[in-house]
Amino acid sequence: MTDVRGMNIHSVVNAALEAPGKRDAILDAALSLFAERGFHGTAVPLVAERAKVGAGTVYRYFESKEALVNVLFRREKGRFLQLLTANLPFTAAPREQFRELWRRMRRFAEENPEAGMFLELHHHAPYLDAESRELEARGMELFYAFIRDAQAREVLKPAAPEVLAAIVHGAFTGVAKAALAGQLGGADDPFAQAEACMWEAVRL
Amino acid sequence: MTDVRGMNIHSVVNAALEAPGKRDAILDAALSLFAERGFHGTAVPLVAERAKVGAGTVYRYFESKEALVNVLFRREKGRFLQLLTANLPFTAAPREQFRELWRRMRRFAEENPEAGMFLELHHHAPYLDAESRELEARGMELFYAFIRDAQAREVLKPAAPEVLAAIVHGAFTGVAKAALAGQLGGADDPFAQAEACMWEAVRL
Amino acid sequence: MTDVRGMNIHSVVNAALEAPGKRDAILDAALSLFAERGFHGTAVPLVAERAKVGAGTVYRYFESKEALVNVLFRREKGRFLQLLTANLPFTAAPREQFRELWRRMRRFAEENPEAGMFLELHHHAPYLDAESRELEARGMELFYAFIRDAQAREVLKPAAPEVLAAIVHGAFTGVAKAALAGQLGGADDPFAQAEACMWEAVRL
Amino acid sequence: MTDVRGMNIHSVVNAALEAPGKRDAILDAALSLFAERGFHGTAVPLVAERAKVGAGTVYRYFESKEALVNVLFRREKGRFLQLLTANLPFTAAPREQFRELWRRMRRFAEENPEAGMFLELHHHAPYLDAESRELEARGMELFYAFIRDAQAREVLKPAAPEVLAAIVHGAFTGVAKAALAGQLGGADDPFAQAEACMWEAVRL
DNA sequence: CATGAATGAGTTTTCATTCAT
DNA sequence: TATGAATGAAAACTCATTCAT
């Protein structure tokens, strides 16, 4: 699709116009629909319609609806982890790292609210396959590593890393959901407020 | 079902034996199935089978699958709020009230894990009707009231009550889910650890 | 369906009127359609329509289209073998037994032309399951046994029993198909002619 | 395809290399697939894949799937009749002619087992068109002519020629199918045994 | 000519809901 | 009141056919 060799001027121009390619169009359509109505609540033809492709086309790109949701999960989880880990200031003080992690999660949630909802909604769905679960687990390890390191430096409370990760992740999710639902109407920079609170929650 | 007039001795005895009543049996079956597989992922005949009633019987007690999920949501949300508010020590210190609220949420989550998952999963489902949404909102008010009161007493941080509520509720949910998923394997009393952390998060 | 206990007069009468029961109606419809258009050439709703039931009803009685064709195969093969073996004159002379077998095959073919076509068409279809194949094999054993016995009495040619069975069965099928296709228009009792010929084919 | 005018040296060489031509490749692929899985059970793209051509290419050579199966039927039936009739010893004794016909049918069945299965399977398929049916009928005439001639010479039984043809053809088919299915494992030259038997069946 | 991506009509199958008993 | 067989509308999925390249 992105290989230009052998394409004449017309196909190059067309390719530029139809930009994302059908596969991505399907994934994008599925993302917003699954986030909104859930996996079982979304019919494949609806995904196709939103992606502006024929219903059969979905099955040219994905073996089944289950395969589609798994590919989508890995794409979004991968993007999330990418954003979180790229050029992270490993040498910075834990306080600064925490702030940075929170800032990146916030950016992801604000720029891709549907992706955030989708990932949250499909966390432990029974139709996620082994590969998806593995990616999920690897993502959590990232947090655990940061926590263990900061605990070793005696900056974080000596609670179980899984517990600290759970409350920070949970609190972030709570704020993000509330923000998305418009429940934080007038609040002044809720993400920053929440970040400050959660640092108090975990710091020694 | 609970009206005894016109029942002969047999039906009274039977009613006593079949204890929970068919309506509750249906709600109980729906609870565990909706918690596990979601609303759209659960077939009504499956609910009926689990409840040990005929498929048609579900429709004697509930107008439709949507009506069922709404009644169920209100039953569980009601139970949750009941547990949370009954004999709450209004005069106690905020720290003690916070601990007590957390303890009660924990008891609910541990005694009714399916109800916890169900409520979490159906928070903002599009098939919840106005009445259900209203109950959901009233529940949140409870937290807001406690927070505003404690803020007035200058015990809690002066952040937006919605933000504080979101992080506490979110953190609790995170821990409860992790516990249920078995991710907190060896952790020593994770709920208590988390409670202590979250008090630090919100206290002044 | 045929259990009368607990039925009142109305249900008994109705049961008598709706005679064959839906399951049999589906099998009957499938028989004539599969015989005519083949398995893959026949859509399930067409079977349902011919059986005068809803499309979904087919799946109340059969797990899948494949399950349906297998149950049907065993029903018809069973009927065929039943007819062939019931009260066979085991002590009669081979010539008489041969005539009797042929006569019974003919009766089956004439009374159930669709069943004959269906069995012939689905002999070795790849969607027949182990149980169906086993029944098919057991049916062939019947012929082999007769042949071996008659060979031991030095009445039949000492060729491989499988070969003798194949030519007799094949010849019968050829005649039956031709008769069904109307290709034997004026012939005078073609089955009897063929029977006489085939005895000459196998006798010593 | 076979027209050389206007082709440059490269295309001529290529044509020589791609030997069978795409049209034949498609027919060959269709033959083995239709023989194995039936007409309705075989998807056109599968035929294309097996023929190593694009799916669209099938439609350059054949108007539709039905047209394809009809062309194929006529090709195979034609080959069969060709083999059967080429240089037949018309003056030989009927016994010798019978043996020769059987030998040729056997050669066809052994050298083209898929063609044999295909022709047998599609004998009277409802999607065969008038031309195909006509060829089928002409094929039968061949046998009838031989039989009538031999009957006139008082060498064959005076039964209806259609009956004699049906049993011989049916018996041959039975043996060929059994051989193909591996059911004649140890039998010593089953075709020859069967031929001898069938001559007994029809001779006076 | 050749292709194979694209499609929508058609297939198999499921399921919310009804209704005769 | 309770049932569960029955159903048709809709779901997931397939495939004959077309068409831009």
Query: What DSSP character marks residue A154?
Result: T
The nearest CA of chain A is from the CA of B10 a distance in Å of 44
Output the domain CATH number for residue C162: 1.10.357.10
Please report the number of interchain residue pairs, chain C to chain D, with beta-carbon separation below 8 angstroms: 147
**What tens digit of pLDDT does each residue of D112-163 get?**
999 999 999 998 999 999 999 999 999 999 999 999 999 999 999 999 999 9
Shared domain for A38 and A102, answered yes or no, is no
Given C13, C28, C62, which residue is the final one in a domain?
A: C62
**Residue D187 has what pLDDT?**
81
Nearest nucleotide (CA of D46 to C1'): F15
Shared domain for A52 and A136, answered yes or no, is no
Which amino acid belongs to residue D40? Answer: H
Query: Using the beta-carbon criterion (under 8 Å), do A175 and B174 form an inter-chain contact?
Result: no
Residues 6+ apart with CB under 8 A from C146: C94, C97, C98, C101
Instruction: Looking at chain A, list the stretches that DSSP marks H as alpha helix, in order from N- to C-terminal side.
Output: 9-17, 21-37, 44-51, 55-61, 65-85, 94-111, 113-122, 130-152, 161-180, 190-202
**Residue B20 has what pLDDT?**
63
At C156, give phi and psi (nearest 5°): -105, 160
Termini Cα distance of chain D = 53
Assign A20 to helix, strand or coil. Answer: coil
The nearest CA of chain D is from the CA of C21 a distance in Å of 30
Tokens representing D44 are: 């056109």
**Residue D204 has what pLDDT?**
93
The C1' atom of E11 and the CA atom of B43 lie apart, in whole Å, by 23
Residue with tokens 């010798």: D96
Q: Which nucleotides of E are covered by protein (CB under 7 A)?
A: 1-21
**What tens digit of pLDDT does each residue of C118-160 get?**
999 998 999 999 999 999 999 999 999 999 999 999 999 999 9
Whole-number average pLDDT of chain D = 91
Shared domain for C16 and C83, answered yes or no, is no
Shared domain for B86 and B46, answered yes or no, is no
Task: Find the domain containing A51 and state its range.
Answer: 1-62
Low-confidence residues in chain B, pLDDT < 70: 1-20
Q: Does the pLDDT of residue D43 top 50, yes or no?
A: yes
**Residue A99 has what pLDDT?**
97
Percent over 90 (pLDDT), chain D: 85
Residue in C197, C198, C199, C202 to test binding to D, most D beta-carbons within 10 Å: C197
Low-confidence residues in chain A, pLDDT < 50: 1-19
Length of chain A: 204
Shared domain for B128 and B198, answered yes or no, is yes
**Residue D20 has what pLDDT?**
63
Average pLDDT value for residue range C46-65: 98
The C1' atom of F13 and the CA atom of A63 lie apart, in whole Å, by 10
Q: Which nucleotides of F are covered by protein (CB under 7 A)?
A: 1-21
The dihedral built from the CA positions of residue B21, B23, B25 and B31, taken in this order, carries a sign that is: negative
Shared domain for B75 and B175, answered yes or no, is yes
Cα–Cα distance list, B23 to A67, B57, B109, C116 (Å): 38, 9, 23, 53
Give me the residues paired with residue C156 across strands.
C203
Shared domain for D28 and D87, answered yes or no, is no
Greatest mean pLDDT among B187-191, C1-5, C113-117: C113-117
Shared domain for C78 and C23, answered yes or no, is no
Give me the residues paired with residue C203 across strands.
C156
Round to whole Å and give the CA distance between D162 and C30.
31
Average pLDDT value for residue range C2-9: 40
Q: Say how many domains are in chain D.
A: 2
Shared domain for A185 and A110, answered yes or no, is yes
Given A62, A93, A108, which residue is the final one in a domain?
A: A62
pLDDT category, C54, cuts 50, 70, 90?
very high
**Residue D186 has what pLDDT?**
80
Query: Using the beta-carbon criterion (under 8 Å), do B167 and A159 form an inter-chain contact?
Result: no
Output the domain CATH number for residue A4: 1.10.10.60
Query: Using the beta-carbon criterion (under 8 Å), do C177 and D166 form an inter-chain contact?
Result: yes
Shared domain for C35 and C7, answered yes or no, is yes
The C1' atom of F16 and the CA atom of B26 lie apart, in whole Å, by 47
Is B105:B142 a contact under the CB 8 Å cutoff? no
Residues 6+ apart with CB under 8 A from A102: A172, A191, A195, A198
Shared domain for D157 and D80, answered yes or no, is yes
Provide the 10 A C-beta neighbour count for residue B39: 24
Nearest to A30 by CA among A128, A121, A114, A132: A114
Shared domain for D109 and D172, answered yes or no, is yes
Q: Does the pLDDT of residue D100 top 90, yes or no?
A: yes
Percent over 90 (pLDDT), chain C: 86
Average pLDDT value for residue range D79-86: 96
Given D44, D62, D80, which residue is the final one in a domain?
A: D62
Assign C156 to helix, strand or coil. Answer: strand
